[in-house]
Amino acid sequence: MTETARCRFAPAPSGFLHVGGARTALFNWLFARHHGGVFVLRVEDTDADRVTDEAVHVLERSMHWLGLDWDEGPGVGGPNGPYRQTERFETYREAAAQLAEGGHAYRCYCTPEELEQRRDEARARGAAPGYDGRCRRLTDEERAAFESEGRPWALRFAIPEGRDVTFDDLVKGPQHFAADSLRDFIVVRSDGSPTYLLASGVDDLRMGMTHVIRGEDLLPSTPRQLLMFEALEASPPRYAHLPLILGPDRAKLSKRHGAVAVEWFREHGYLPEALVNYLSLLGWSPGHNEEILPREELIARFDLDGVSHHPAVFDVEKLTWMNGNYIRSLSDEELAARMIPFLADAGLTPDLDIVRKAAPHVKERMRTLEEAPPMLRFLFTDVTPDDKARAAIEKVGPDYLGNAADKLEPVTDWKSEEIIAALDSAAQEAGLNRTKGWQPIRAAVTGTTVSPPLPESLELLGKDRTLARLRTAAGG
């Protein structure tokens, strides 16, 4: 590639960053980074009913969390700003005026009610319901009459008659749109606001985008934007339309499938590097069977040649498996630092040194950071056995727990090796194997039947608190 690649992610944020949007942002970011290019974040916020400052804040926070830094955009600036469409209306007015002055756009005086009536009539005839071009054929007298009565108007782009549109999509290959499938479209609404087709297209031109990588649901907008660029005498970017992301039922991924927001995964203990890795494989193949690919490797390998034509299925279980792999790859110090916020959010006051010491004993059991509080709660607060823990205690009775405390009390070097010997002695005297003998002790001390390995748990808890909890559970 001889020119500098310029890619953009241009969402209309409405509360959270959908994983489909995150995948689009990621593919643009990877393409730009792979080619040493520029990644731009642009906020399409012309729909004031949907896009709020808070939604933009959530978008930026999610992007930062994923590590998708932008070279131009909100908070960063750049030579092509501003990067919010509500601050670019003058640019759109200039482009609309250029289209109108060149005879490529005309005023449309049709009311919403008239348009709907004609659509219904077209459907009844079995015809396509698109705009019928009525205002394109107005006489000067009819146009003057509408103007004199002060009727509102929208600006419509005039599709060149008889023009098929073809282009080569970098993912989907050659595309052909027949002339009769394209209808005149609105570029400026009657309230003066630009439509997506105008604003997004003009921004791509003015910001020098070389590649527009977006979801295939936007493919139908491409031939119309290409004709608009031609009318503006501008060279278009290259297009790549990404396959859809589906839910397990093969329907388009949506809220009804469960978690679809990047924020949800952050709040529930998924690592950003795991989510980035997983999203990268939704519709793209690195060319090998590898699945765990660090960010640097993704950048080195990514290109549009590996993007599939076919939809990808979002599998939360597969993501969770991958997240567990990433957790196990963390150093004890890093894992401890990432667990601390989750422990604090659970109302605990964690000690970083203790959490670090616990890290190697929990990482093999964890799939998400959200699992840290239930496993480590016993270290930072008094516990009450849950239902399963009470059942385990009742199976052996209080005398067993009292005897276990007696076996542990003489241990002077409170290390796991010495603790194991005392625990095994108590179990053997009761005729229990290690599994059945250790489980009620775990239940009494941690309040649950799931914890880090028992000897290490008792070592971390300390002798005094261990004995106190065993004697309390024994009724002493």
Helices (H) and strands (E) in the chain, counts: 20, 11
The distance of Cα 363 from the centroid of its chain, to the nearest Å, equals: 24
Sign for the CA dihedral angle at 260, 271, 241, 307 comes to negative
**Which among 203, 280, 187, 284 is positioned nearest to 237, based on CA atoms?**
203
Could you tell me if 314 and 19 are in contact, meaning their C-beta atoms sit under 8 angstroms apart?
A: yes
DSSP for 280-316, written as a single string: HTSSB--SSS-----HHHHHHH--GGGB-SS-EE--H
Tokens of 97: 């005026």
Q: How many CA atoms lie within 13 A of 18 on its CB side?
A: 20
Place of tokens 């209309």: 12
Q: Which residues have a catalytic role annotated?
A: 255
Non-local CB neighbours of 209 within 8 Å, separated by 6+ positions = 6, 7, 8, 40, 237
Q: Which residues pair with 165 in a beta bridge?
A: 177
